[in-house]
Chain A
């Protein structure tokens, strides 16, 4: 996750095993013409469904996940009056308290930055092919998730039998 010279609308999308650097992402989106930077820091909680969590493991369909994250970043520009976006998601084993996902959105005004950041994390959780396994003292389970929306069949497709 190397620092990048920021430019307007130059979004940053990262998916990998290295720890996420929130400072790098905030610096990336923050420009002199912005009046607001809103961030979301998703971190590993020490409990789930009433049980003490030991750690989490994230895996993904990496090439598709990265594309879906880029699509989210691009969509924010069409939906909200924002400047730029940085999204990072981590994979592999994460300990309690570590950041699993971080989103930073800059905008001239705060309302668009808040709304876009919320939209980004909500959409990520529904559409990006990443899976979380929760490890407890007495076993491990795949976390409940959301089934991504799938486009309707096109006329070219064969009718369901």
Chain B
């Protein structure tokens, strides 16, 4: 199964790009998807506690179980306005 993963703001710079496709096993959560990204790019790991996630453009808890084709974004604190 595969998810489209998006990074924004500071996280985009640390991830080295705005998006990537990440393979995962059935039943995995958003938290596990983040761990997969962090294993590819260890600099991401420290940001786990200071970002939130969205799944298919809705804010989602880390425990959300993923489905193939999901669009998951990792979002640093927002600063619009």
Contact = CB atoms under 8 A, between A and B. Distances in A.
Given A153-B63, A157-B65, A145 B76 contact: yes
B16 to A, nearest CB: 16
B32 to A, nearest CB: 9
A126 B78 contact: yes
A50 interface: no
Contact of B77 (A89, A144, A151, A157): A144
A64 interface: yes
Interface of A: 42, 58-61, 63-65, 67, 89, 100-101, 121, 124-133, 142-153, 156-161
Given A64-B54, A142-B9, A142-B10, A150 B79 contact: no
Given A59-B8, A129-B8, A148 B76 contact: no
B61 interface: yes
A42 B31 CA distance: 35
Contacts of B80: 58, 60, 65, 89, 100-101, 124-125, 128-132
Contacts of B31: 160-161
Contacts of A158: 27, 29, 63, 65
Interface size range on B against A? 20 to 34
Contacts of A152: 61
B2 interface: no
Contacts, number: 108
B63 A61 contact: no
A157 B81 contact: no
10 contacts: A61-B54, A61-B57, A89-B81, A125-B81, A129-B8, A133-B9, A143-B79, A148-B78, A153-B61, A159-B63
Contact of A151 (B27, B61, B75): B61
B24 interface: no
Contacts of A159: 63
A129 B61 CA distance: 16
B63 A145 contact: no
Contact of B73 (A64, A121, A146, A147): A64
B59 A148 contact: yes
